[in-house]
Structure 1
Amino acid sequence: MRIVVVGDVLLDVDISGTSERLSPDAPVPVVDVTGSSVRAGGAGLVAVLLAADGAEVELVTALSDDARSHDMRRALAGVRTIAGHSSGPTPVKTRVRTNDHAVTRLDEGCGAVAAPRVTAAMLESVAGADAIIVSDYGRGLAADPALRTALERRRSGVPLVWDPHPRGARPVASATVVTPNLAEAAAFTGHAAQGVTGAADAAGALAASWGCGSVVVTLGALGALLLTQPATGRPAGGPALPLLVPAVAVGAADVCGAGDRFAASLTLALAGGAGLADAVAAAVQAAGVFLTAGGVSALGRPAGPAPDAALGAVELAGAVRSAGGTVVATGGCFDLLHAGHARTLAAARRLGDCLIVCLNSDDSVRRLKGDHRPILGQQDRVDLLLALECVDAVLVFDEDTPETALGSIRPHLWVKGGDYAGATLPEAALVQSWGGQSVTVPYIAARSTTLLAGALARVG
């Protein structure tokens, strides 16, 4: 499986440092540089990301022969590159960050240039690809007539993802999907596009204008909106309904490279045979993981272990506690989530600054409830809980009681439903040992998993 990345490469330079004083010459910060790094940007970043994913990648691009081109070639080490000649300088974008905050960006050689030269080898690479992604950064390569013809004539069944640029070329009509972000979609349509409604309107207008079947507008923290038009035109009942794939909040301050990660992952999923909707969902998730891991700043670091849900809950509790906030926890099986659960959880969240749910594992539930339980598996129960806005983290425990889990997060408040009022909780003494308090919230009568399961059995 060979993925060909077609597009413009940039050289990204990151300068990091500290700033504790202003210059005596002008009211600007003085940056004491502590480090710098050079990496491939634009289509080069897409190719590097795909290579890191283990894909067989070829990069079809144009390279200059100036001094910075040597840095570019080193940044592309490990990526097979088939390049034409660019008469312009190597575009360089230098970001300066101090104390984890962006200060400024310096652009060199990023203006308009003459169209690069496209070679026969570049066209042959496109013709033989198993999947193609065009990463257009507006420097003329994607506008070359011969290259566009090769893209339009790609082999049947080969997915083509086009990541456009407002100063770039019009996507070819045969593109499988075009992936503007919301600002780009607004620039392409000439109208302000805001939120989901604006994204849906822009996606429809762009699909009609470009003649492509699908447009996915990336929405940052909101996720991505996919609009696919039927091959035979719109159905008689009205326009096609868009699919909104929400993102998981990651709180990343630096989102540089997230769009490239999205496009690369989308292409990789399509190349593997995924349907478009599933591929978009995989790409949204991959972009979130990329940002959580540090984004482009983490490129080149050794890969760490996969994120651990328990560690996440412990880190959340520690962060809230360090900030002077109140950590609230509750626990249970939460099998067949119902209105009583939701109200208890919402009430618990109002008592503090975060709510962590200690959840019995499948084995723990079976020991407590019998072999017929749980009705829903552990991961489904985790997903349902995390879908509630009032739940900040879930910590799964395998013991019969939550003492070990509680000891790892040390909540200020341990909350149970009102059906425990007056009861003696084995874990209450443990919570009290670090100064915490066990409390109950009002019980919602006639709401229980047992009653719900019985009702379902009767209608089944």
Structure 2
Amino acid sequence: MSGPLVVLGDVLLDVDIVGAAGRLCPDAPVPVIEQAVERPRPGGAGLAALLAAADGREVTLVTALADDDPAHRLRAMLAPHLEVVAFHLNGGTPRKMRIRSGSQSVARLDVGEGEAVDGPVGPAVTEAVQNAGTVLVSDYGRGVTRHRVIRDLLAGLAGEVPVVWDPHPRGEPPVPGTRLVTPNEGEAHRLAAAEGSQEWEGAGTGLPAAAHSARFLAAAWDVEGVAVTLGANGALLSGRTGVPYLVPAEPVTGDACGAGDSFATRAAQVLADGGRLTEAVSAAVRHATEFVGAGGASALATRLARGDSPPAPSERTADAFEVAERVRRGGGTVVATGGCFDLLHAGHVRLLEQARRLGDCLVVCVNSDASVRRRKGPTRPVSTVADRVRVLEALSDVDAALVFDEDTPGPLLERLRPDVWVKGADYAGAPLPEAGTVRAYGGEVVLLPLLEGRSTTRLLSSAKGIGT
């Protein structure tokens, strides 16, 4: 990607008003939300741009903003992380407010009917779009993609650089030559019906309907691919012809708000790096699943409220810390262990089983790929950290896994603060650098017996001998 990732579209101010509902209002059968706090965050194209910037990209957000308090708040939240280039929004900045009791939404209020209308956009906007290395269009039906100058600029770029278009039923169709369009299932059916007019006969429900809509839209819009997001079922990619490509999603629970933005953002990044459509959709499903599991847009709002940066992928470890905190609140014991876990074998499984019995949850701290290379040499690890974590989290004795990039897990343990830190008996009589960290906060270190004759090194040596 020679130029920055340009996110172009409508920005909203999203606000979660979060409290606890313990009683009903005396004058109406509605819950009273007490001790409410306000958690603002960028929404729409603003959220997509922020997520892309969190992954280390050079990002420019092109949008329309009014001169009002919500717009000023949006600029203040976005400016530390990316460049904002804006033209005039006619009317008030749109705000979407969710009233929530814990993790449950009680009501939503939409305020502000601002829209971008045709008119001058200024040289800064024109230059930003023309210099894009990749474009992500985040259309929320507020007029940015309907603006004639913007649409002409996009039409000139499509085919020259990857363009990913996240559509909206009230928005505009993507320009011909767009690389990938990412509607959700309901949007795909409504958009197909709108494009098909009298010719559209409907496609029923389920995967056949998604494939029918995607294929129809790819042809009607003259785009390379349409990926219909299916929520917990993943996403289905189809072009104008050929067999659709289905990417299932891993089961996850969490706040799904912002999952579509997360999906489109990661797809654009993969295409920016030269990836194929199938690679982009596969990566996007994984990324959106992780985003939901880590708390979704609500977790992002919490970090912004603390003044933190948006979470980078390696930092999205909220699940493990939440598991540990939940166990502590219940008076339980948090156990943790760590290592490379490259080529998981029976010795690893035995250690994890024994460690889990020492407490009420087990968190595994896993060396990153770079950390393994520093410890084991340039030919290791055999399995990437993503694969190692996935295998570990599939074990019933493992409640969560965390990745660390340092040579020792000491800095991570200072944050996690397990009651018990477990290592194998091969460390008996040897210095354990993190032991001081654990004991300093009141934790304890224990060694567990190993299963004789099992090691990754021995497995690799055996495999090499067989191969020769």
Is the pair's TM-score, using the shorter chain for normalization, greater than 0.5?
A: yes
Indicate if the aligned counterparts of 1:7 and 1:136 stay in contact, CA closer than 8 A: yes
Tell me the residue number matched to 1:137: 140
Q: How does 1:407-422 map to 2 (within 5 A)?
A: 409-410=418-419
Structure 1 residues 6 and 18: CA distance shift in structure 2, 3 A = same
Aligned residue runs from structure 1 range 41-56, under 5 A = 41-47=43-49, 55-56=58-59
Structure 2 equivalent of residue 295 of structure 1: 300
Alignment of 1:105-144 (within 5 A): 105-109=108-112, 116-119=117-120, 121=122, 124=126, 128-130=130-132, 131-143=134-146
**1:179–1:348 CA distance, 2 compared to 1 (3 A):** farther
Within the candidate set 210, 217, 227, 2:237 is matched to 227
| 1:15–1:37 contact (8 Å) kept in structure 2 | yes
Q: Distance in 2 between matches of 1:55 and 1:364?
A: 26
Matched, 1:386 2:390: yes
Which residue of the partner structure matches residue 320 of structure 1?
327
Mean CA deviation greater in 323-332 or 1-10: 323-332
2:195 matched to which residue of 1? Answer: none
Distance in 1 (alpha carbons) for counterparts of 2:384 and 2:149: 50
Q: Which residue of 1 aligns with 2:68?
A: 70
Residue 172 of structure 2 is aligned to residue 169 of structure 1? yes
Which residues in structure 2 correspond to 1:177-256 (within 5 Å)?
177-189=180-192, 191=203, 194=206, 202-220=213-231, 224-225=234-235, 227=237, 229=239, 234=242, 239=243, 241-243=245-247, 246=249, 249=252, 251-253=253-255, 255-256=256-257
- 1: CA distance, partners of 2:129 / 2:316: 44
Quote the residue 1:259 is aligned against. Answer: 260
CA shift in 2, pair 1:174/1:415, >3 Å: same
Q: 1:317 to 1:378 in 2, by over 3 A?
A: farther
Secondary structure of the residue that 1:168 maps to in structure 2? coil
**Identical positions, percent:** 37
Q: TM-score scaled to structure 1, two decimals?
A: 0.66
Aligned to 1:95: 98
Number of corresponding residues: 421
Taking a change above 3 Å as real, the CA distance of residues 175 and 376 of structure 1, as seen in their structure-2 partners, is same
What one-letter code is carried by the residue in structure 2 that aligns with 1:74?
A: H
> 1:39: how far off?
4.9
Contact kept, 8 Å, 1:415 with 1:440, in 2: the verdict is no
Partner of residue 343 from structure 2, selected from 336, 343, 356: 336
**Cα 1:372–1:356, aligned 2, differ >3 Å: closer, same or farther?**
closer
Query: Post-superposition shift, 1:23?
Result: 1.8
Q: What is the DSSP-based 3-state SS (H/G/I as helix, E as strand, rest coil) of the residue aligned with 2:96?
A: strand
Q: Is the 8 A contact 2:137 2:166 kept in 1?
A: yes
Shift of 1:198: 6.6
Amino acid at match of 1:458: I
Q: 1:13 to 1:335 in 2, by over 3 A?
A: closer
In 1: Cα distance, 2:21 partner to 2:377 partner: 58
Q: Evaluate the alpha carbon distance shift between residue 109 and residue 320 of structure 1 in structure 2; reply closer, same or farther with a 3 A threshold.
A: same
SS in 2 for 1:454: helix
Partners of 1:361 and 1:163 in 2: how far apart? 33
Distance 1:157 1:270 in 2: 13
Cα RMSD between the aligned structures? 5.4
Which runs of 5 or more structure 2 residues have no equivalent in the other structure? 193-201, 436-442
Distance 2:30 2:86 in 1: 41
TM-score calculated relative to the size of structure 2:
0.65
Larger radius of gyration: 1
